[in-house]
Chain A
Amino acid sequence: EDKVVQSPLSLVVHEGDTVTLNCSYEVTNFRSLLWYKQEKKAPTFLFMLTSSGIEKKSGRLSSILDKKELFSILNITATQTGDSAVYLCAARPNTGNQFYFGTGTSLTVIP
């Protein structure tokens, strides 16, 4: 059965801290892994990773994929209260249109 598992389920940090969110996957014929940020409503796209070991970066956020160990991490440095959200990861196979989502990590950044 294809599945995606995220950890931790929730996290509370202080502003300025660095956090690492984890996503492991078991997807047959894996193609890519995606990260989304969800603040109450629509998830917004952050990164799509298809190759192992190549870091993708956007401002204080970065992500990397390990296709051998079947996981990805999302790093957020110098966290701000605006980073508070649920972070979702999704894995998709090479065939079909199915995206398999994890349950998300709820991040709360306190001033």
Chain B
Amino acid sequence: DGGITQSPKYLFRKEGQNVTLSCEQNLNHDAMYWYRQDPGQGLRLIYYSQIVNDFQKGDIAEGYSVSREKKESFPLTVTSAQKNPTAFYLCASQANFYNEQFFGPGTRLTVL
């Protein structure tokens, strides 16, 4: 089955700890994205990557970092510098410029 997987589904962390969210796709898509979703705010872009070993900041990149060492994988690290990390995080991929984005099931991060 082709698709996007995110793990874990739920994540709890103490304040001040870094945490890494996983995103894997087997769709052979070039582009991958990370969004943050907060109640009443829609989806906000954190980072995106068009090809391996290249990525760009989105609107709210501060306090986050990413890597794109393999086409299939685009992990997101939420660092202790992120002031309000509790949110729902969505990963997406896109085959090429002309196509829609496909989304993973999301990770709900709660920082205690």
Contact = CB atoms under 8 A, between A and B. Distances in A.
Interface of A: 4, 9, 34, 36, 41-45, 48, 88, 90, 97-99, 101-104
Nearest to B50: A97
Contact of B101 (A4, A99, A103, A104): A99
B82 interface: no
Contacts of A97: 31, 33, 48, 50, 56, 94, 97
A19 to B, nearest CB: 19
B-side binding surface: helix, strand, loop or mixed?
Answer: strand
Interface in B12-67: 31, 33, 35, 40-45, 48, 50, 56, 58
Interface in B89-112: 90, 94, 97, 100-106
A102 B101 CA distance: 15
Given A99-B45, A103-B40, A48 B31 contact: no
B17 to A, nearest CB: 25
25 contacts: A9-B40, A34-B100, A34-B101, A41-B106, A42-B90, A42-B103, A42-B104, A42-B105, A43-B90, A43-B103, A45-B102, A48-B100, A88-B42, A88-B43, A90-B43, A97-B48, A97-B50, A98-B45, A98-B58, A99-B45, A99-B101, A101-B42, A101-B43, A101-B44, A103-B40
Contact of A103 (B41, B45, B58): B41
Interface residues of B, number: 24
Contacts of B45: 98-99
Interface of B: 4, 31, 33, 35, 40-45, 48, 50, 56, 58, 90, 94, 97, 100-106
A63 to B, nearest CB: 13
Contacts of A44: 103
Nearest to A106: B40
Given A45-B100, A103-B40, 8 more contacts: A4-B42, A9-B40, A42-B103, A42-B105, A44-B103, A45-B101, A97-B97, A99-B45
